[in-house]
Amino acid sequence: MTDSFDDLRDLYQEVILDHGRRPRHARRLESFDATAEGDNPMCGDRIEVWVKYAPDGTIADTGFQARGCAISVASADLMAETVLGRNRPDTHALFEAFREMARTGTCQHCDAALAEPLERLEPLAGVHEYSITCEVRDAGLARAGGRA
């Protein structure tokens, strides 16, 4: 059992490192409908995100620029990927669930409808084990995409 847990932890670490080193959504959108910034003076992490909405109100595109640790960059990239196609209320609910998961390792009060997107963000669940005081991981897309 320990070996499979270690394998899963290694896989999650690899996902974080991959998205931290090679983020897929690290770009400023030329045309956007919402933007937000997150800044943590304690560690120096800084993220700016952009969101473009489709005519139906769902998120059509996302982009971000980040300066910070691999976890901060990976968090922004995975969230940007996960919110595509979602509307504002869904994005806000996902943000709140992700925030709980990142702080505690689980989301006990999560709606079953969030199971699939949270599974995509699960590599970041172990972040709570480290003494990270980074609020940047919680900022950005939630402000731009999760609130009207």
Helix (H, G, I), strand (E, B) or coil at 54: coil
Judged against a pLDDT cut of 80, whether residue 123 lies above it is answered with no
* Other CB atoms within 10 Å distance of the CB of residue 109: 8
Residue 2: pLDDT band (50, 70, 90) is low
Helix (H, G, I), strand (E, B) or coil at 84: coil
pTM: 0.76
CA dist 73 and 26 (Å) reads: 9
Taking phi over 0 as left and psi of -120 to 50 as alpha, with beta for the rest, 23 belongs to beta
CA dist 106 and 21 (Å) reads: 25
Given 3.40.50.2300, 3.30.70.260, 3.90.1010.10, 3.40.50.1100, which CATH number is that of 2-145?
Answer: 3.90.1010.10
CA dist 122 and 145 (Å) reads: 20
pLDDT confidence of residue 128: 64
pLDDT confidence of residue 122: 80
Sequence spans of domains, the chain: 2-145
Selected residue with higher pLDDT from 137 and 40: 40
Of 63, 62, 76, the residue nearest 16 (C-alpha): 76
CA dist 51 and 84 (Å) reads: 9
